[in-house]
């Protein structure tokens, strides 16, 4: 049972300072998925929390593609909490940027893709199910490292959802929190895989 969720925030530069932010829609979405859980923003690497799920949310660009200062801090937080999740066997969910981080960690191939930003497109699941999802990313995962398995792909063969072969690690490229109305599919999907 998931009682405490840690969220790795997006890092942005605003007025020459670094700001850590969480989309309120993500908090609302998580409250719908896991109504009795506590949420904690993971804003430093000095805490060792008793978490049941760690989420690396959207925003930022992975450090191997852009080394600006905001992405450097985000990379530090992602690495620390991902390794913490691996050590403690805590489920880890990557949403968009978080999925790219996981894919990159396992030596997957990520490229810039046109026509994926601010769009909706059909994805095909390994179960033959099809669904339309939103897309806000400039970079796409096109080949997974050997420890990861594809769950869903877009028609252009970019990978939209994947999981680790043995560990409770899940990556999704769409943003379930960014729909006007929370979709039952997204809640069921996360509960199935986490």
Kindly list the catalytic residues.
96, 175, 177
Q: What phi, psi does 131 have (nearest 5°)? A: -155, 150
Structure tokens that stand for 142 in this block: 């096109």
Specify whether the CB–CB gap between 60 and 74 falls below 8 A: yes
d(CA 13, CA 164): 32
Q: For residue 94, give Cα distances in angstroms to 1, 9, 14, 33, 86.
A: 19, 12, 24, 16, 14
**Cα of 21 vs its chain's centroid, Å:** 15
């Amino acid at each position: 049972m998931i009682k405490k969720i840690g969220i790795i925030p997006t890092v942005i530069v605003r007025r020459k300072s670094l700001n850590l932010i969480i989309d309120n829609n993500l908090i609302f979405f998580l409250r719908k998925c896991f109504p009795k859980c506590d949420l904690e923003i993971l804003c430093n690497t000095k805490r060792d929390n008793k978490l049941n799920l760690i989420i690396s949310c959207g925003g930022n660009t992975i450090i191997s593609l852009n080394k600006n200062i905001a992405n450097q801090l985000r990379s530090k937080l992602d690495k620390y909490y991902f390794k913490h999740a691996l050590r403690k066997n805590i489920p880890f969910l990557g949403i968009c940027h978080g999925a790219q981080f996981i894919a990159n960690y396992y030596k997957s191939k990520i490229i810039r893709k046109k026509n994926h930003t601010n769009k909706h497109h059909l994805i095909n699941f390994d179960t033959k199910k099809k669904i339309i999802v939103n897309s806000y990313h400039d970079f796409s995962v096109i080949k997974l490292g050997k420890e990861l398995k594809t769950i869903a792909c877009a028609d252009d063969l970019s990978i939209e959802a994947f999981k680790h072969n043995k560990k409770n690690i899940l990556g999704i490229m769409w943003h379930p929190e960014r729909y006007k109305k929370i979709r039952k599919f997204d809640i069921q999907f996360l509960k199935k895989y986490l």
